[in-house]
Amino acid sequence: MAFTCAVITFPGSNCDRDMAVALEQISGTAPLRIWHGDADLPDRLDFIALPGGFSYGDYLRSGAMAANSPIMRSVVAAAKRGVPVLGVCNGFQVLTESGLLPGALMRNAGQTFICRTVALTVENNQSLFTGGYDAGETIHIPVAHHDGNYFADGETLDRIEGDGRVAFRYAEKVNGSRRDIAGILNAEGNVLGMMPHPERAIEPEHGTADGRRLFEGAINALVSA
**Which residues are identified as catalytic?**
89, 197, 199
CA distance 170 to 119: 6
Cβ atoms of residues 71 and 98 within 8 Å? no
CA distance 30 to 193: 22
CA distance 2 to 75: 21
Coil, strand or helix: which one is 36? coil
Coil, strand or helix: which one is 102? coil
